[in-house]
């Protein structure tokens, strides 16, 4: 994405450009999502099952991991294109949007810090659809304080041996590949953490039962158990002791994908509510004609568009690698997820009692929106990040 604008927070508004190609991509993903993913969204939520139909459709159209560079067989999509894919899938099914989002989250450490051999080994099968990627950072006693993790990796000749438990791992048990953060030098705290690629089939890898969640029920969330998992030494991502820095750099980029998910959920809710109030009649006219309803819709649309502009500007910074990406990534995730929670709640309100039932999609969208305020760093943590990185 070309830009003539500066990246230091100045009043230059040419920070990103939505090209004709991006618009065409949006149309294509929206059409695919509405025809191949939306019909299964309610069932996926009700049954809390993995959206295999979505994975098949996205993989068949090379949309499951669009961020993978072309030299590894990927689409080589830029950050804004990745945002658009996730946004449009989330508009109909938030659980399904975690396929492209978490594939980026899990594999981006390899993209950012892995050597060439590691990239060839793992990015190529990801691009080909031969396996998804998950990200293992959080632990039972290390959530917001990720540097307090206890999972250990000990060098043993030409191997590393990993032991520990990772919690809240999205798509665990379905993904073939896992980026795992583990302590290699306990004396150095965050600078003693390294990153590794672990495969689902490695001996000693197992998974807990799926969590029973409020929302995104179609995306399995499980613990990952590492019991004397012995992996080749060349599966370390980057130099020893750089894993935590890689993890944080990854989140700078991927928090924008959570903002994209929030945008999609909110857009789906607004679209549905706006259509409903035009059809629903009370007191002899459509409720869309009442000023109170109009004000609610206007506020919803305003907040959504503000969130979209911030998210797209953050995506442009991600693509360019700007110095203020940390602030903008946190700001986009925080603002968009807060907006999504407000918009979906208001959408339920606009449908009244119908909005509170499972016969309509808005209660699912409201439940799904909540997680966007929590994962990849709670919004309280995002505000800390922003305060420490004011542009």
Residue 320's pLDDT is: 95
Is the pLDDT reported for residue 377 higher than 90?
yes
110 in a structural domain: yes
Residue 346's pLDDT is: 98
Q: Give the CA distances from residue 85 to residues 29, 61, 63, 170, 303, in Å, rounded to whole numbers and listed in that order.
A: 6, 11, 7, 19, 21
Among candidate residues 81, 111, 128, the one where a domain is terminated: 128
Residue 1's pLDDT is: 32
> 68, 120 in Cβ contact below 8 A?
no
Does residue 146 share a domain with residue 37? no
Is the pLDDT reported for residue 4 higher than 60?
no
Tokens of 193: 């953490």
Confidence of residue 173 (pLDDT cuts 50, 70, 90): very high
Does residue 310 share a domain with residue 377? yes
Q: How far apart are CA 33 and CA 99, in angstroms?
A: 13
Among candidate residues 243, 262, 277, the one where a domain is terminated: 243
Which of 87, 88, 363, 376 is the catalytic position?
376
102 in a structural domain: yes
Confidence of residue 268 (pLDDT cuts 50, 70, 90): very high
Residue 391's pLDDT is: 74
Does residue 201 share a domain with residue 174? yes
> 110, 122 in Cβ contact below 8 A?
yes
Q: What angle do CA 19, 23, 28 make, to 5 degrees?
A: 145
Does residue 152 share a domain with residue 67? no
Confidence of residue 16 (pLDDT cuts 50, 70, 90): low
Q: What angle do CA 141, 242, 115 make, to 5 degrees?
A: 125
Q: How far apart are CA 228 and CA 197, in angstroms?
A: 15
Average pLDDT over residues 253-261: 98
Is the pLDDT reported for residue 101 higher than 90?
yes
Confidence of residue 11 (pLDDT cuts 50, 70, 90): very low
Percent of the chain whose predicted confidence (pLDDT) is above 70: 96
- For residue 155, the SS3 value is strand
Does residue 230 share a domain with residue 141? yes
> 67, 253 in Cβ contact below 8 A?
no
Is the pLDDT reported for residue 15 higher than 70?
no
Chain mean position to CA 3: 25
> 362, 355 in Cβ contact below 8 A?
yes
Q: Give the CA distances from residue 305 to residues 89, 235, 330, 340, 346, in Å, rounded to whole numbers and listed in that order.
A: 18, 42, 17, 11, 16
Which residue from 328, 334, 343, 322 is spatially nearest to 377, judged by alpha carbons? Answer: 334
Is the pLDDT reported for residue 6 higher than 70?
no
> 93, 218 in Cβ contact below 8 A?
yes
User: pLDDT tens across 182-241, in order?
Assistant: 999 999 999 999 999 999 999 999 999 999 999 999 999 999 999 999 999 999 999 999
15-24, 104-113, 315-324: the lowest-pLDDT one: 15-24
Residue 207, domain CATH: 2.40.110.10
Q: What residues make up the domain containing 25?
A: 20-128
291 in a structural domain: yes
User: pLDDT tens across 50-84, in order?
Assistant: 999 999 999 999 999 999 999 999 999 999 999 99
Residue 13's pLDDT is: 40
Return the sign of the alpha-carbon dihedral for residues 211, 94, 112, 320: negative
- 87 part of the active site: no
Is the pLDDT reported for residue 19 higher than 50?
yes
Q: How far apart are CA 200 and CA 198, in angstroms?
A: 7
Does residue 230 share a domain with residue 115? no
Radius of gyration of the chain (CA): 21
Average pLDDT, the chain: 95
Does residue 367 share a domain with residue 263? yes
Average pLDDT over residues 317-339: 97
Helices 20-32 and 79-90: crossing angle in degrees, nearest 10, is 30
How many separate domains does the chain show? 3
Which residue from 211, 229, 79 is spatially nearest to 163, judged by alpha carbons? Answer: 229
User: pLDDT tens across 358-367, in order?
Assistant: 999 999 999 9
Q: How far apart are CA 297 and CA 343, in angstroms?
A: 9
Q: How far apart are CA 172 and CA 231, in angstroms?
A: 19
368 in a structural domain: yes
Q: Of all helices (H) and strands (E), which one includes residue 295?
A: helix 291-320
């Amino acid at each position: 994405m070309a830009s003539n604008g500066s990246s230091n927070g100045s009043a230059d508004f040419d920070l990103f450009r939505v090209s004709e190609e991006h618009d065409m991509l949006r149309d294509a993903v929206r059409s695919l999502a509405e025809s191949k993913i939306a019909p299964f969204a309610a069932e996926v939520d009700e049954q809390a099952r993995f959206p295999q139909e979505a994975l098949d459709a996205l993989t068949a159209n090379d949309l499951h991991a669009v961020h993978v560079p072309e030299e590894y067989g990927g689409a080589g999509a830029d950050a804004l294109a990745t945002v658009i894919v996730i946004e449009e899938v989330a508009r109909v099914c938030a659980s399904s949007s975690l396929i492209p989002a978490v594939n980026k989250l899990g594999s981006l450490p390899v993209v950012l810090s892995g050597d060439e051999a590691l990239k060839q080994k793992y990015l190529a099968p990801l691009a080909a659809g031969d396996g998804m990627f998950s990200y293992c950072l959080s632990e039972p006693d290390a959530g917001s304080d990720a540097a307090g993790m206890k999972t250990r990796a000990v060098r043993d000749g030409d191997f590393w041996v990993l032991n520990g438990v990772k919690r809240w791992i999205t798509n665990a048990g379905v993904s073939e590949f896992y980026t795992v953060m583990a302590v290699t030098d306990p004396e150095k705290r965050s600078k003693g953490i390294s990153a590794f690629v672990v495969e689902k089939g490695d001996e000693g890898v197992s998974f807990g039962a799926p969590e029973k969640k409020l929302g995104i029920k179609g995306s399995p969330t499980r613990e990952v158990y590492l019991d004397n998992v012995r992996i080749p030494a060349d599966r370390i991502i980057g130099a020893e002791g750089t894993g935590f820095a890689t993890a944080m750099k990854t989140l700078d980029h991927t928090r924008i994908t959570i903002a994209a998910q929030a945008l999609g959920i909110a857009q789906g809710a607004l679209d549905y509510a706006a259509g409903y109030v035009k059809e629903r009649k009370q007191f002899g006219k459509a409720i869309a004609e009442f000023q109170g309803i109009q004000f609610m819709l206007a506020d919803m649309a305003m907040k959504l568009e503000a969130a979209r502009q911030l998210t797209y500007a953050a995506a442009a910074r991600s693509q360019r690698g700007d110095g203020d990406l940390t602030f903008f990534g946190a700001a986009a995730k925080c603002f968009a997820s807060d907006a999504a929670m407000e918009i979906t709640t208001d959408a339920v309100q606009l449908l009244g009692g119908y909005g509170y039932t499972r016969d309509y999609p808005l209660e699912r969208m409201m439940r799904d929106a909540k997680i966007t305020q929590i994962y990849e760093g709670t919004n309280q943590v995002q505000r800390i990040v922003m305060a420490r990185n004011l542009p």
